[in-house]
Amino acid sequence: AIRMTQSPSSLSASTGDRVTITCRASQGISSYLAWYQQKPGKAPKLLIYAASTLQSGVPSRFSGSGSGTDFTLTISCLQSEDFATYYCQQYYSYLPITFGQGTRLEIK
């Protein structure tokens, strides 16, 4: 199975900050990577797929980049509603589909 490792596991930031979350795959996955946002008690929400394609309706302050094994999710200007847990997911190998362990973004 392809292992996805996110860093950091948790992050404290303030409204208006620019933050970057990293996701590393244990082997090359081309651009077959998605990012999700999850708030407590809620289902995950798709933010980005194909490493850098913004899902419809997602604010442009979210962006993704990378290919191969190293990927980043950047939030350019944090808003209060962005404090949540973020997960990456690879779909290069669907046996099995795997997620990163999550990055919890907290208010400083």
Partner 1 sequence: EVQLVESGGGLVQPGGSLRLSCAASGFTFSSYSMNWVRQAPGKGLEWVSYISSSSSTIYYADSVKGRFTISRDNAKNSLYLQMNSLRAEDTAVYYCARDLYSGSYFPDYWGQGTLVTVSS
Which spans of this chain sit near partner 1 (rule: CB under 8 A)?
Answer: 34, 36, 38, 42-46, 49, 55, 87, 89, 91, 94-102
- CB closer to partner 1, 16 vs 40: 40
User: How far is residue 7's CA from residue 96's CA, in Å, rounded to a whole number?
Assistant: 22
Three-state secondary-structure class, residue 41: coil
- CB closer to partner 1, 55 vs 69: 55
CB of 80 to partner 1, least distance (A): 23
Closest residue by Cα to residue 63 from 19, 100, 93, 6: 19
CB of 50 to partner 1, least distance (A): 9
- CB closer to partner 1, 20 vs 102: 102
